[in-house]
Amino acid sequence: MGSLKKIFIVDDDAVIRTGLNGIIRHTGLFEISGEASNGEEFLQKLADIETEIVLLDLLMPGLHGPEVARRALEIKPSLKILICSAEASQEELYQLLDIGIFGFILKTEGFDQTIRALTNAANGIPYFSPELVGHAVNLSRNKAKPVQFSRRETEILELFCKGYSLHEIALKLYISSRTVEKHRSNMLSKAKKSSTLDLVLFALKNQIIAPEKIAYRTATHRHYLNGEKQTDLFSGA
């Protein structure tokens, strides 16, 4: 993974902040760049800190999580914001997806899943708790699908949703990487999106891929599988 990825923790519960700090440091994979007990404190510090990933509680005194996420991404659009909260309504989840969060971890999942989500984010792979995937699907169940992808495009999109790289998809489907890239470009054009990450979130919000098929592999698995750097997958290129 190269240099340690920097993580900032935002949570009003000091016990949770301390627990997350200790567990994250213990992995040896990340560096804690700072902490804040509320959204206003975090936003005041953000311009002066170097961080790549933010663990953000949804329910805190003062500014609510969605507004904090929106303002943070205005200050640093490259941030990968992972919401870490005990619950979320369907409307909140939909709003957060529109804002551009990188993932959502339910606190009930425990520290193991939090580390998995952080490892994924460090490698450019989003993570959403399976329960929340169901919420997103229920929210959009009665909405008409905004675009129609071909069978092959849908097959490739499903693999992107599972965290496969372009090269891995080509190997799995016995086609060339150039063909996969052509299908990806066609889907980006149809959906009016700029990156593979946008496509993944688009599939999540619009039930283009069945929820039981949106099950991301861990970034650790992918790293040892082929040693490729995965973050480029989610660039606009």
Q: CB-side exposure of 56: number of CA atoms within 13 Å?
A: 32
Q: Model's pTM, two decimal places?
A: 0.65
DSSP letters spanning 41-62: HHHHHHTTS--SEEEE-SS-SS
DSSP 8-state secondary structure symbol assigned to residue 164: -
Instruction: Round to whole Å and give the CA distance between 8 and 34.
Output: 5
> What pairs with residue 84 in β-bridges?
105
Query: Which helix (DSSP H) or strand (DSSP E) does residue 220 occupy?
Result: helix 219-226
Q: Residue 124 in contact with residue 232, Cβ under 8 Å?
A: yes
Mean pLDDT of 132-141: 52
By 3-state DSSP, what share of the chain in percent is helix, strand and coil, each rounded to 5? 55, 10, 35
C-alpha distances in Å from residue 224, one per residue of 111, 115, 216 = 22, 17, 15
228 vs 159, residue with greater confidence: 159
User: Considering the chain, what percentage of its residues have pLDDT values greater than 90?
Assistant: 40
Domains of the chain: 5-122 (3.40.50.2300), 143-234 (1.10.10.10)
Mean pLDDT of the chain: 80
pLDDT of residue 79: 94
Of 147, 148, 234, 161, give the one whose Cα is nearest residue 194: 234
**Tokens of residue 73, six digits:** 């991404």
Token pair of 107 as six digits: 């606190």
pLDDT for the residue numbered 129: 80
Instruction: List, in order, residues 6 or more apart from 112 with CB less than 8 Å away.
Output: none
Query: Tokens standing for 178?
Result: 């150039």
Predicted local confidence at residue 214, as pLDDT = 53
- Cα-atom radius of gyration of the chain, to the nearest Å? 17
Q: What is the pLDDT of residues 13-26, one digit of tens each?
A: 999 999 999 999 99
Whether the per-residue pLDDT at 29 is higher than 60: the answer is yes
The pLDDT value recorded for residue 135 is: 53
Per the CB < 8 A criterion, the answer to whether 7 and 118 are in contact is: yes
Q: pLDDT tens, 68-125?
A: 999 999 999 999 999 988 877 777 777 888 888 888 888 888 788 888 889 888 888 7
Chain-centre distance for alpha carbon 82:
7
- pLDDT at 210 (0 to 100): 62
